Amino acid sequence: MKKEQTLNRRNFIKTSSIGIAGLGISGDLNFSSEVTENKNLTQKIRKFNILGRTGFKVSDIGIGTSRIYPVPVITALLDSGVNYIDTAERYGRGASEKSIAKAIKGRDRKSLFITTKLHLTETTSSDEIEKRFNKCLERLETDYIDCLMIHGASSIAVLKNENFHLAVKNLKAGRKLKFTGVSNHGARFGRNKDVMEEVLMGAVDDGRFDVILVVYNFLKKEPGEKILNACKKKNIGVTIMKSNPVSRYYDIKERIEKLKQEGKEIDTRTKNYFERLKETAERSESFIKKYNLQNSDEIRDASLKFVLNNPNVNVLTLAFKNFDDIEKLLKLSGTKFTRSEIQKLNGYAYGSGNLYCRHGCGICESSCPENIPVNTIMRYNHYFETNESEKFAMEKFAGLSGLDQEACLKCSGICEMSCPFDVPVKGLLILAGHRLTLS
């Protein structure tokens, strides 16, 4: 393995000979919107589930994202019946927990289930864990936290860190913590790390974890359902993330055509990969016409209802940027997954399913001679295009370290040969690089 170096993102863009303007992406992105007052919202939570062995009755839709929410939006969600909140110490460097503190002030604390998360290693000490946990308590301005999760556990060895379990014992004795859990959406660098399924099944088998946070959607069903079924048998609470795998496939063809119109030079190998993406986008257009889809919200709603209607799912955590999101997403609470929606998802999977680089997969990473963190880069791209968390995604991408991505441009696409889902990984990585740098 070569010595790791900072990802050369700027050279990655230059070498590909494709300017950001050629991708049709504006540099004037609206990274945040001010929300200053509440609105008269009509949608309410209509279904509650028992969160496994915790016994807590949670709303079927919860708050869960790395974004920092405006306090009025959190307040409106709580007023609408949402009572599950997922956050982490690293979200906004603690700012997320502080905004939640403001929103929950004056409310019945026992009516809410709050989860926060800490990134740990196999050797993190119990003293450090307790110290960081207490900082979370301070930022949340609460006497206790319902669940402490190991954030993105990279291996089974992290789950077995007895320092964590000692810290948990001490925090529970002090009545600062009630339950423990673990999340995983794939290793940051897949090589020499355990995959999502192995880590979360390890947590189930361990027996000391009460709640898990797992990737599950209609295009990534098999590993998720295996984990969900195992949790059901052990009465472990299940919360879901990355439930909408639908990318902005609508604009791929348009961006590629714009490159040609502006006379941008594209090397032959990269052009061939973009042509493959274009063909997939054209299949998507046929799918849109067949089902008379007016906008991507229809597929999004169907994909979320697919998750909500799984009886082994307790909470679907979603991102809410504004009041409109509350109205659009809470309307799905307690609703049924229809035959028409099943057909739409099946059609999408057939026409465009290979545009989704599966979260938590990482199968191709072991074959990459340059150790490119495919799973991580595509996850950040997902934040950018699906969660509309552009600034956050770009900051996370800028913080990556690893091998030079210029290698992707010269590579024959070894990653694609290893992908069992026929994902055009190389082309998607190049587009992701453009999206996440704007340079």
Residues 6+ apart with CB under 8 A from 347: 287, 290, 291
Name which of 189, 192, 308, 290 is nearest 243 in CA terms. 308
Name which of 289, 298, 285 is nearest 345 in CA terms. 298
Q: Average pLDDT, stretch 318-329?
A: 92
Q: What's the pLDDT score for residue 284?
A: 63
Residues forming a β-bridge with 63: 85, 318
pLDDT at 180 over 90: yes
* Measured distance CA(229)–CA(235) in Å, rounded: 10
pLDDT tens figures, 89-105 = 988 888 999 999 999 99
In three-state secondary structure terms, 208 is coil
Q: What's the pLDDT score for residue 191?
A: 45
Residues forming a β-bridge with 117: 149
pLDDT at 144 over 70: yes
Burial 305-341 (b: 16+ CB within 10 A, else e): bbbbebebbbbbbbbbbbbeebeebbebbebebeeeb
- Measured at the CA of 301, the angle between CA 298 and CA 304, to 5 degrees, comes to 150
Q: What's the pLDDT score for residue 244?
A: 85
pLDDT tens figures, 206-245 = 999 999 999 999 988 888 899 999 999 999 999 999 898 8
* Measured distance CA(96)–CA(140) in Å, rounded: 9
pTM recorded for the entire structure: 0.82
- Measured at the CA of 324, the angle between CA 30 and CA 297, to 5 degrees, comes to 90
Q: What's the pLDDT score for residue 24?
A: 30
For 197, half-sphere exposure in the C-beta direction (CA atoms, 13 angstrom radius) is 12
pLDDT greater at residue 106 or residue 408: 106
* Measured distance CA(166)–CA(173) in Å, rounded: 11
pLDDT tens figures, 264-280 = 555 555 566 566 666 66
The mean-pLDDT minimum among 302-311, 319-328, 337-346, 429-438 falls in: 429-438
Helices (DSSP H) in 174-308: which residue ranges? 196-206, 222-234, 252-261, 268-290, 297-308
Residues forming a β-bridge with 150: 118, 182
- Measured at the CA of 402, the angle between CA 399 and CA 403, to 5 degrees, comes to 135
